[in-house]
Structure 1
Amino acid sequence: MAKSIMIQGTMSSAGKSLLVTALCRILKQDGYKVAPFKSQNMALNSFITEDGYEMGRAQVVQAEAAGIKPSVLMNPILLKPTTDVGSQVIVNGEVRGNMTASNYFKYKKELIPEIMHAYHTLEKEYDIIVIEGAGSPAEINLKSEDIVNMGMARMAKAPVLLVGDIDRGGVFAQLYGTIALLEEEERAMVKGMIINKFRGDVKILEPGLTMLSDRLNPIADIPFVGVVPYTKVDIEEEDSISERFLKKMAKKIDIAVIRLPRISNYTDFHNLERFPNVSVRYIAKVSELLEPDMIILPGTKNTIADLKFLRESGLEAAILKAQAKESLIFGICGGYQMLGEMLRDPFGVEGGGEIKGLSLLPVDTVFSKEKIRKQNRGTFGEVTGMLSGLTGKTYQGYEIHMGESTWISKVPVNDGSFSDKAAKKYVEDRAITSVLRSNGDNVYGTYLHGIFDEEGICKEIIGTLCEKKGIALDEIFEFSYKKHKEEQYDKLADAVRDALDMEKIYQIMEEGV
């Protein structure tokens, strides 16, 4: 059976996910077969596995760092917020339904057998399981129903490393307060403390480590196992609290991603950010849009609500003006649905009713009760319009959506009227494939998440934008996204290995709880 180690944090965004990623890489480098695990994750960024199940992207990144394929076993419960007080509940990769926070709080302990089945299955296949907690284990009002922090540590009999974030300030209070609020049995499971995101001279910090240990001694004898420096690595983030959203400076090639209120899977655009002289800016209001070369409408957890946001904010009109001025418009998943003629919700999936789209693609969308989840790969057929260079390019990615989109049979003819007679030709000329749809000019839509991760597709799109502006940027294409990710995992592992007492951590895993 696998040994285990668990990373818990004093708060959200303390760096748990990144430290789990680092440990997965370090343990892989040391010759172990290692897997990540998070019993319950809350995120709008998700992934579809090869067998068609949905899971959080953080565990996908961690699996990549461990050198293994992602499996829904690594994240048996995924919560995708739909409102401020409710989420879609996904168990073992499949939707169980939408629940309010209070209903889920009462229900979640019923999921323990499914959590433990997933954990025990991994336990039989791997040498070490690196478990990630969520938020803080010191939420005393939630402890009785906990299945992701100390509750999970207890079920897995996993020793815990507690991580505090010094970058936000108050790290000693974070660590002391968290440990003080734990029950005696829980404190006994905490085998080490880590200070994360440190900047400066660690020698100045060291007296504080001794003082905190002395103050904790009456209730717990917990050693520090490392001070991890603030490390700049280019690794996908899961949370919507992202520095990426703050970038506003336009470069030679300017790509604007509409920052929808319920934006999901914004990791789709990370590969576009790798290129010098290419800016990827997240835009939430008209004044920020400027004159981008490309506008992307991303995925969203609620297409209809976010389409209303586009309309009310004035961004819809701004996008239509940009399209008329020949900016490239590209919609993914919910963004693709918005580009169509009509969106209909007969089953109340997104509150019911219907709404007119941007009418940039002759597509109608009807929301269905069942979520479509699948990986997709292949080769584009004939692509028309601005991105005709994509013809014959290979693609791969994954689909997660509730709606089905249909190409409208009635099409415009020269006199501006509509005619069914021209429908067949219109579909042949402009539909391209079921994967990528176009208006035959500068508007494109797809359900495929991850489409920009393919080097050939990314190169072709940026190359087209460069050619349109008369900019020579050939040097930016000497780049491999897959190689880059591997280098970043190694860089993170090197920094964390140097900062942690790995000998002590191996001892903690060996001794268990």
Structure 2
Amino acid sequence: MTAQALAVLGTGSDVGKSLVTAGICRFLHRTGMRVAPFKAQNMSLNSFVTPEGGEIGRAQALQAEACGILPHVDMNPILLKPESDNRSQVVVRGSVWSTENASTYFEQRPHLWAIVQDSYARLAQQYETIVIEGAGSAAEMNLRDRDLVNWPIVELADARVILVADIDRGGVFAQVLGTVDLLEPDERDRVCGIVINKFRGDPKLFADGVSFVDSRSGIPVLGVVPFLQDLLLDQEDSLNQERDRRVAFSTEQLNIAVISLPHMSNFTDFNSLMAEPDVALKYVTTPSLLAQADIVIVPGSKNTLTDLSYLREQGYSRILEHHVRSGRELVGICGGYQMLGRTISDSHHVEQGGISSGLGYLSIETELSQKKCTEQVEANPTDTLVVDQTIVRGYQVHMGVTVYQNERPCFRLQRRVSPIGGAHPLAAVQEDSCDGAIREDGLVWGTYIHGVFDEPSFRRAWLNRARARKGFLPVGVHTSRSVTARLRGELDRWTDHLTRSLDMARLLSCLSHRRIFSL
């Protein structure tokens, strides 16, 4: 292994490790360095499909973008996708490996550690610097003998460490000092800087706090990062709950409700919609909140049958019936698409077995399968969905085969990526290859395509269709193109914010490099 390495570990979960890692990756990329991200093991329902058809955590795809490179399965060799409190689907180098509970999973550590080592070694041969993201706390005392993602990787890479703490949740002194105190002496020696993240107010007011942490920990504070409002970057698992609380439905906008399922996956499908100026998008947790919605979306799910039962038990199905009968739109994405059909069969016990009745809005039937479909796709919407000639780009991640009889397809696939191991990275699809289903009136439809709303031309054509139903004039596509441009600039906005807040010269000194940088 030849690459130098910097590890971003945290005082706990959701302190901002993923975004700090992305910002550092972008900063190093700007200097001209060949840099790549790495997270040995990720636990997330928010995934992405790489160009070769492998599934990794969405955060590592964002970090690869920050590095100016394509995402690859070596950047996240192990992805755990929780199916319940004590069971996860295990994805290894992009493909489903098994489903394990915690005890049986830890028994596989020797085999999995070899895979992690191989992935890291390949990256380290290709890039100058690897920025490693840790998981949870840097001081997970009960997992030290089974850890795959924090200190074993730090030692493997001979990395220096930056420790990230979240001041917004309170107790930042205990977070930092408690974590440092629990580290072994050789681990503590690797920590070259501390980042205080998510500060609200004037950072100068925390100057005394910085001095206290410096003196008590013996580790320099690299900076205090102010909380950045309305940042629309792909997060790992946490919805922007603060923004959601501030969203209010109104008669002047298109009101879109996304049902917050217990096992919701890929909620980043809706970031583009959320950023549109004529849209109020809200994640709802109670059925009554659907009453004012012009459009309801049932999102993806890692546990479709359980979440389908949840919709019925919580009273969503009755409210959805009224929603559809009143001429308003209902959309299903991936698992949500499956729920809109007549039946979901699980003869292979992929989830809980048996046959379940769907919500019955689409004439489709789904058979859950043991083989997962993971591919990037390009498609054109059918004229039942939108009349405009547009294109959709996204990816599919699902374990199920859906057939339809009377409904028309939503999309005609133009190309897709071959599965891992295919001879060609991009393969043309059959002319009759379709995706999704749409009712004849166009008001109920579903698709397996994640990222379906990301392309501005399709998004605006679809929104204008909804605007027409509400009696609104259409909005020009330039508005949606501006939104997409803004979203693509969020990574640089975050990086600029991070570099203004941190002592980047000191951060660079954490790397044992021989290059000369110009800041």
> What TM-score, normalized by structure 1, do the two folds share?
0.91
What residue in structure 2 maps to residue 242 of structure 1?
240
Mapping for residues 462-477 of structure 1, pairs under 5 Å: 462-472=463-473, 474=475, 477=478
Please give the per-residue CA displacement for 1:161-195, whole angstroms capped at 9, x wherever unaligned: 01111111111111100000011111111111111
Q: Give, in angstroms, the shift of residue 378 of structure 1.
A: 2.9
Aligned to 1:399: 396
Q: Provide the C-alpha distance between the structure 2 equivalents of 1:430 and 1:224, rounded to a whole number of angstroms.
A: 56
Deviation at 1:444, TM superposition (A): 0.7
SS in structure 1 opposite 2:453?
helix
Kindly provide the amino acid, as one letter, of the partner of residue 439 in structure 1. Answer: R
TM-score, normalised via structure 2 length? 0.90
In the alignment, is residue 230 of structure 1 matched against residue 231 of structure 2?
Answer: no
**1:28–1:482 CA distance, 2 compared to 1 (3 A):** farther
2:507 matched to which residue of 1? Answer: 505
**1:86-123 deviation digits (Å, cap 9, x = unpaired):** 11111101111111112222323421111121111111
Instruction: Report the alpha carbon displacement of residue 249 of structure 1 after superposing the two structures with TM.
Output: 1.4
Q: The residue matched to 1:478 in structure 2 has which SS?
A: helix
Cα deviation, residue 393, structure 1: 2.0
For residue 436 of structure 2, what is the aligned residue in structure 1?
Answer: 436
The change in CA–CA distance for 1:354 and 1:248 in structure 2 (over 3 A counts) is farther
Instruction: Quote the offset at 1:285 in angstroms.
Output: 1.7
| CA gap 1:230/1:109 in 2 versus in 1, 3 angstroms | farther
Question: Equivalent residue for 1:208?
Answer: 209
Q: Is contact 1:246–1:282 with CA below 8 Å preserved after alignment?
A: no
3-state SS in 1 of match to 2:446: strand
Distance in structure 2 (CA, Å) of the matches to 1:436 and 1:115? 36
Given candidates 366, 382, 388, the residue that maps to 2:386 is 388
1:389 partner SS? coil
Q: Distance in 1 between matches of 2:319 and 2:274?
A: 23
Q: Within the alignment, does 1:371 sit opposite 2:372 as a pair?
A: yes
Q: Is the 8 A contact 1:247 1:282 kept in 2?
A: no
Counterpart of 2:219, as a letter, is: I
Percent identity, aligned pairs only? 41
C-alpha distance in structure 2 between counterparts of 1:246 and 1:353, whole Å: 38
Q: Cα distance 1:431–1:112, how it changes in 2: closer, same or farther (>3 A)?
A: closer
Q: Which amino acid aligns with 2:438?
A: S
Native 8 Å contact 1:34 1:126 kept in 2 = yes
CA distances 1:5-47 after superposition (whole Å, capped 9, x unpaired)? 1111101111111101111111111111221111111000111
Residue 491 of structure 1, aligned match among 490, 493, 501:
493
Structure 2 residue matching 1:279: 3-state secondary structure: strand
Structural mapping, 1:284-433, within 5 Å: 284-380=285-381, 382-384=382-384, 387-390=385-388, 392-408=389-405, 426=406, 433=412
Tell me, yes or no, if the aligned pair for 1:276 and 1:476 is still in contact at 8 Å.
no
Task: Specify every segment of 5 or more residues in structure 2 that has no aligned partner in the other structure, as ranges.
Answer: 413-433, 515-519
* CA distance 1:320–1:140, shift in 2 (3 Å): same
Query: Deviation at 1:242?
Result: 3.2
Partners of 2:4 and 2:157 within 8 A in 1: no
Residues 375-434 of structure 1 deviation map (CA, whole Å, 9 limit, x = unaligned): 111323x432xx3325x32122111111100113xxxxxxxxxxxxxxxxx46x667642
Number of residue pairs matched by the alignment: 486
- Paired AA for residue 41 in structure 1: N
Change (3 A) 1:337 1:282: same
The higher radius of gyration belongs to 1
Identify the residue that residue 34 of structure 1 maps to in structure 2: 35
**Alignment pair present for 1:64 and 2:65:** yes
Work out whether residues 268 and 452 of structure 1, in 8 Å CA contact, stay in contact via their aligned partners in 2: yes
In 2, the alpha carbon distance for the partners of 1:157 and 1:60 equals 24
Q: Partner residue of 1:419?
A: none
Residue 476 of structure 1 deviates from its aligned partner by: 7.5
Alignment of 1:142 onto 2:143: yes
Distance of aligned partners of 1:29 and 1:432 in 2 relative to their CA distance in 1, 3 Å threshold: closer
The residue number in structure 2 matching 1:92 is: 93
Q: State the alpha-carbon separation in 1 of the partners of residues 257 and 460 from structure 2.
A: 17
**Aligned counterpart, 1:266:** 267
Distance in 1 separating the partners of 2:129 and 2:372: 33
User: In 2, distance between residues paired with 1:430 and 1:100?
Assistant: 38
Superposed CA deviations along residues 222-254 of structure 1, whole A, max 9, x for unmatched, are 212222121222212111353255455113210
Task: Kindly indicate whether the alpha-carbon contact (under 8 Å) linking 2:380 and 2:411 is maintained by their aligned counterparts in 1.
Answer: no
CA contact (8 A) 1:342 1:363 kept: yes
Amino acid at match of 2:308: L
Q: What CA distance in whole angstroms lies between the structure 1 residues aligned with 2:213 and 2:108?
A: 38
CA contact (8 A) 2:394 2:450 kept: yes
Q: Which amino acid aligns with 1:436?
A: G
* Other-structure match for 2:517: none
In the alignment, structure 1 residue 21 sits paired with structure 2 residue 6: no
Structure 1, unaligned runs of 5 or more: 409-425
TM-align CA RMSD: 1.8
Separation in 1, partners of 2:410, 2:116: 43
